[in-house]
Amino acid sequence: MNGINPESGNEINALVDTGSARSLVNANKIKNINFDSYFPPLFSVDGKRPNVIGTKILNVFIDHYVTKFEFIIITDMLFEAIIGINFLSGNKIIITFHLRETAINNIEMMLKHDIIRPSTSAWRAPVTMPEKKDGSRYPLPNIRELIERLCGSRYFTTLDISNAPVYSINEFNFIPFGITSAPAAFQ
């Protein structure tokens, strides 16, 4: 991605990294800009700590839209800027154990019948399988009610599954609800 540094008017070449939680900018590209002295913990892939000299919130113009990113200013960087946008892919697939086999079977069936296909999109949503014993419809529970149910509880835990099964990321080939509510392009 190419952009213009508004302070200097120079072109900046940036890498957009959908898996990165942080946005980085090369110190050589933002000379004469005041920056904050906050130093977030940062490690490179090889475990070394890059030379962080500060942070700065900068406006990024992408297709006529302005978005604010907090950039970490570092030296000795291959790219002029790396824009981390992992929020696009932040949702993880969470399926309860007793529904896992059903979900996998349904995904395999939809892949086999070309209802869905593998996707490389950064935009995604998790599989949800609300149980409806009597076949009726009901909305997802109110979050406030769920939190109120926790009132008075003494024990809380989070479980970390280190070897969880890997699920593929898929997208529909057509809109998955009835033809009457689908645009003509998907019919």
Q: Highest mean pLDDT range out of 5-14, 38-47, 105-114?
A: 105-114
pLDDT at 110 > cutoff 80: yes
Read off the pLDDT band of 19 (50, 70, 90): low
Mean pLDDT of 51-62: 74
Read off the pLDDT band of 72 (50, 70, 90): confident
Q: What tokens does 25 get? A: 């900018």
pLDDT at 187: 44
Mean pLDDT of 110-121: 80
Alpha helices in 11-170 (DSSP H): 97-112, 143-149
- Give me the chain's average pLDDT, please: 67
Query: CA 57, CA 23: separation in Å to the nearest integer?
Result: 10
Q: Which residues fall within 8 angstroms of residue 161, CB to CB, at 6 or more apart?
A: none
Q: What tokens does 1 get? A: 């991605």
Q: What tokens does 120 get? A: 């490389």
Q: Which residues fall within 8 angstroms of residue 43, CB to CB, at 6 or more apart?
A: 49, 50
Q: What tokens does 142 get? A: 């109110």
pLDDT at 162 > cutoff 60: no
CA distances 45 to 49, 90, 157, Å, are 9, 20, 30
Q: Pick the residue with more confidence: 59 or 90?
A: 59
Q: What tokens does 175 get? A: 């809109």
Q: Pick the residue with more confidence: 12 or 170?
A: 170
pLDDT at 145: 80
| Residues 13/1, Cβ–Cβ less than 8 Å | yes
Query: CA 118, CA 102: separation in Å to the nearest integer?
Result: 19
pTM (two decimals) = 0.36
Question: Which structural domains are found in the chain, ordered by start?
Answer: 2-91 (2.40.70.10), 99-180 (no CATH)
pLDDT at 78 > cutoff 60: yes
Q: What tokens does 60 get? A: 């990024």
pLDDT at 15 > cutoff 50: yes
Read off the pLDDT band of 94 (50, 70, 90): low
pLDDT at 135: 63
pLDDT at 86 > cutoff 60: no
Query: CA 111, CA 94: separation in Å to the nearest integer?
Result: 20
